[in-house]
């Protein structure tokens, strides 16, 4: 009976400790694009990067960046005085480990950015503004941590041991 639980538990523990289940996106390839309202051209200087890294675009009116760390995405739009920012949309996809959650931690964008997470692809859009300044939004990117998998494996192992002890004590009572 114990072997039925020990094999999956050992597999989960091995994956967690081998680093296959990473706690962040460090080392992952991320594809990104920046499109301005009505245009289908990718304006980012890079179309993909390895996290941590920065996607960027700059012209005389504004500078747009998307900075990936292992666990966050920070989007900044710096609009020059006497300029305005056209609306834009940024799209990001992680190739090896799709994005599963996206949480807005803080923002100074007015109007606020809109977001979606569909089939592992993050889309962040902004309508733009005629007011110069620095606008920023910080998002949390959550992925399963090795500690969570280890905790799950420990629980499964504990249940298996408890069940085995209970079965052993019943057989002693029945046979005794």
Residue 48 has a pLDDT of 96
Place of tokens 């949480």: 103
At the top level of CATH, which class does the domain 29-143 belong to? mainly beta
Please choose, from the candidates 98, 87, 100, the residue with its C-alpha nearest in 3D space to the C-alpha of residue 140: 100
- Helix (H), strand (E) at residue 54: strand 53-58
| Domain spans of the chain, in order of start | 2-19+147-167, 29-143
pLDDT tens-digit readout, 24-39 = 899 999 999 999 987 8
Tokens of 24: 């962040």
Residue 142 CB neighbour total at 10 angstroms: 13
Q: Are 66 and 42 in contact (CB under 8 A)?
A: no
Residue 79 has a pLDDT of 93
Residue 20 has a pLDDT of 47
Greatest mean pLDDT among 23-27, 39-43, 51-55? 51-55
How far are the Cα atoms of 15, 93, 102, 172 from residue 28, in angstroms, in the given order?
17, 10, 17, 54
pLDDT tens-digit readout, 133-172 = 999 999 999 765 556 656 666 776 677 676 767 766 666 6
Q: Are 115 and 144 in contact (CB under 8 A)?
A: no
């Amino acid at each position: 009976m114990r072997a039925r639980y020990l094999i999956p538990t050992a597999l989960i523990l091995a994956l967690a400790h081998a680093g296959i289940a990473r706690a962040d996106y460090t080392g992952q390839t991320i594809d990104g694009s920046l499109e301005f309202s009505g245009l289908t051209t990718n304006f980012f200087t890079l179309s993909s990067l390895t996290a941590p890294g920065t996607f960027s675009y700059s012209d005389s009116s504004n500078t747009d960046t998307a900075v990936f760390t292992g666990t966050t995405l920070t989007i900044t739009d710096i609009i020059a005085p006497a300029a305005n920012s056209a609306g834009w949309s940024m799209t990001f996809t992680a190739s090896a480990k799709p994005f599963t959650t996206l949480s807005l931690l803080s923002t100074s964008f007015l109007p606020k950015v809109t977001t979606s997470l569909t089939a592992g692809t993050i889309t962040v859009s902004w309508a733009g503004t005629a007011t110069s300044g620095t606008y920023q939004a910080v998002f949390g990117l959550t992925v399963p941590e090795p500690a969570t998998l280890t905790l799950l494996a420990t629980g499964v192992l504990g249940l298996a041991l408890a069940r085995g002890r209970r079965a052993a004590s019943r057989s002693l009572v029945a046979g005794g």
